[in-house]
Structure 1
Amino acid sequence: MTAQEKGPIGRPRGFDADEALQQAMLVFWEHGYEGASLSQLEAAMGITRTSMYAAFGNKEQLFRKALERYDAGPAAYGDRAMEKPTAREVAAAFLAGAVMATTRPGGPAGCLGVQGALATGDAGRAAHDALVAWREDGGARLRHRIQRAVDEGDLPADADAGRLARYIMTVSFGIAVQAAGGVSRAELQEVAETALSDWPPGRDVYADTP
């Protein structure tokens, strides 16, 4: 039994902490940080406010834990995309993953990392900053992967890794916003494919060049 599953003096909690966090993530995903009330969180998690605070901390701490779960779950397509052998495949998998994650049947539309705290007051500033850092980290990892493709000759030597990474990230964020507005998965996949129409030619194109 993990420490998270135990009470403060070693006794098991009276609820499934993992499932409670899953439900909290879905509430934040659907309503955003400020839009998610404590009452909604209590009801979805199936626990009292006292138990919620004891297990996860305050609302901000719960949100950060929910974001970590989101990153390791629905948003894990980014890490999987980085493992593709070519930069073009990385970009294609990243955008396809964004489409799939933001249009999950029966789940919240859009992206927790994009819409979770776009417009917040002072009370939501910490959550806003956490999401900014989360998005910047994703962009940095994508930039490093594309720069590796440049260094290895998979992309032309003059390809701008930072510019390409910002382009892919911006398209993926736009996909999330459009998904939240009700645009279908098929339509968004078309957007993803169109976005790659001007992608720099890869090593396979140069392989037959004299």
Structure 2
Amino acid sequence: MDTGQKAPIGRPRGFDTEEALERAMRVFWGQGYEGASLTDLTAAMGINRTSMYAAFGNKEELFRKCLERYTEGPASYGVRALREPTAREVAAAMLNGAVLATTGAAGPAGCLGVQGSLAAGEPGSHARDTLAAWRDEHVSYLSDRFQQAVDEGDLPPDADPGLLARHLMTVANGIAVQAAGGVTRDVLQQVADMTLRSWPPATAPAQPAA
């Protein structure tokens, strides 16, 4: 029976965009920007190129969306670490999170934000620049957090927040590269623990309980 209702204009997408984005993220994570071909991406996403372009834009735009998803998902330990009450606990959460995220069974070894375009040539220059800015942004967040620690007496007054942030991020990035090369979680955890043992002491130690 004709109800008089008309079908909606345009065909609905026949796939789950969130699931497709998750799958594309894992392709970029495992293969890097240039290593991930459009054929690899669309096969993993279960769609054709026309659908990919319509839903996500070109490869560069898809990569940016995947990086956002990675930041909010597997790499979200970085944001959580900033909320820790002391600078040392921030550093510990950052390094421990890096070890777990880059060696976990839930995703490829390594870090999308580090290895995504390290070896990219000119075709991948935009992705390389995007990731460089992404890493620098995280260094800036850490630097601000460590400046707060200096101001509160949680770090020595002569501590350099920017250098501490860069040092911590360099170790975390190195952990990711080593993980991608097959170094085990246990070994990388030892690296993280060694770094934490040399962390600057607080200038205002906690008072003993009465």
Please confirm whether the aligned pair reaches a TM-score higher than 0.5, indicating the same fold: yes
* Superposition TM-score, scaled by structure 1 size: 0.92
1:53 corresponding residue in structure 2? 53
1:13-45 Cα deviation digits (max 9, x unpaired): 100000000000000000000000111101100
Where in structure 2 are the equivalents of 1:58-69 lying within 5 Å? Answer: 58-69=58-69
- Using the TM superposition, give the Cα deviation of residue 198 of structure 1 relative to its aligned residue in structure 2, in angstroms: 1.1
Shift in alpha-carbon separation, 1:29–1:150, aligned structure 2, 3 A: same
- CA–CA distance in structure 1, aligned partners of residues 75 and 37 of structure 2: 24
Mark the runs of 5 or more structure 2 residues left unpaired by the alignment. 1-8
- CA–CA distance in structure 2, aligned partners of residues 47 and 101 of structure 1: 28
2:104 corresponding residue in structure 1? 104
2:17 corresponding residue in structure 1? 17
- Using the TM superposition, give the Cα deviation of residue 206 of structure 1 relative to its aligned residue in structure 2, in angstroms: 6.8
Where in structure 2 are the equivalents of 1:4-153 lying within 5 Å? Answer: 11-153=11-153
- CA–CA distance in structure 2, aligned partners of residues 206 and 73 of structure 1: 34
1:172 corresponding residue in structure 2? 172
- Using the TM superposition, give the Cα deviation of residue 203 of structure 1 relative to its aligned residue in structure 2, in angstroms: 4.7
- Using the TM superposition, give the Cα deviation of residue 204 of structure 1 relative to its aligned residue in structure 2, in angstroms: 5.7
Count how many residue pairs are aligned between Structure 1 and Structure 2: 201
SS of the residue aligned with 2:197? Answer: coil
Counterpart residue type for residue 47 of structure 1: I
Extract structure 1 runs of 4+ deviating beyond 2 A. Answer: 9-12, 203-208
- CA–CA distance in structure 1, aligned partners of residues 193 and 143 of structure 2: 20
1:110-164 Cα deviation digits (max 9, x unpaired): 0000000001111111000000000000000000001100011111111111111
Contact 2:78–2:94 (CA under 8 A) maintained in structure 1? yes
- CA–CA distance in structure 1, aligned partners of residues 206 and 150 of structure 2: 13
2:188 corresponding residue in structure 1? 188
- Using the TM superposition, give the Cα deviation of residue 106 of structure 1 relative to its aligned residue in structure 2, in angstroms: 4.5
- CA–CA distance in structure 2, aligned partners of residues 160 and 177 of structure 1: 26
- Using the TM superposition, give the Cα deviation of residue 57 of structure 1 relative to its aligned residue in structure 2, in angstroms: 0.3
2:5 corresponding residue in structure 1? none
Counterpart residue type for residue 148 of structure 1: Q
Counterpart residue type for residue 17 of structure 1: T
Shift in alpha-carbon separation, 1:127–1:204, aligned structure 2, 3 A: same
Contact 2:153–2:204 (CA under 8 A) maintained in structure 1? no
- CA–CA distance in structure 1, aligned partners of residues 202 and 19 of structure 2: 44
- CA–CA distance in structure 2, aligned partners of residues 206 and 79 of structure 1: 25
- CA–CA distance in structure 2, aligned partners of residues 116 and 12 of structure 1: 32
- Using the TM superposition, give the Cα deviation of residue 207 of structure 1 relative to its aligned residue in structure 2, in angstroms: 4.7
- CA–CA distance in structure 2, aligned partners of residues 191 and 120 of structure 1: 28
SS of the residue aligned with 2:157? Answer: coil
- CA–CA distance in structure 2, aligned partners of residues 121 and 85 of structure 1: 41
- CA–CA distance in structure 1, aligned partners of residues 187 and 11 of structure 2: 51
* Superposition TM-score, scaled by structure 2 size: 0.92
Shifted more, 103-112 versus 78-87: the winner is 103-112
2:163 corresponding residue in structure 1? 163
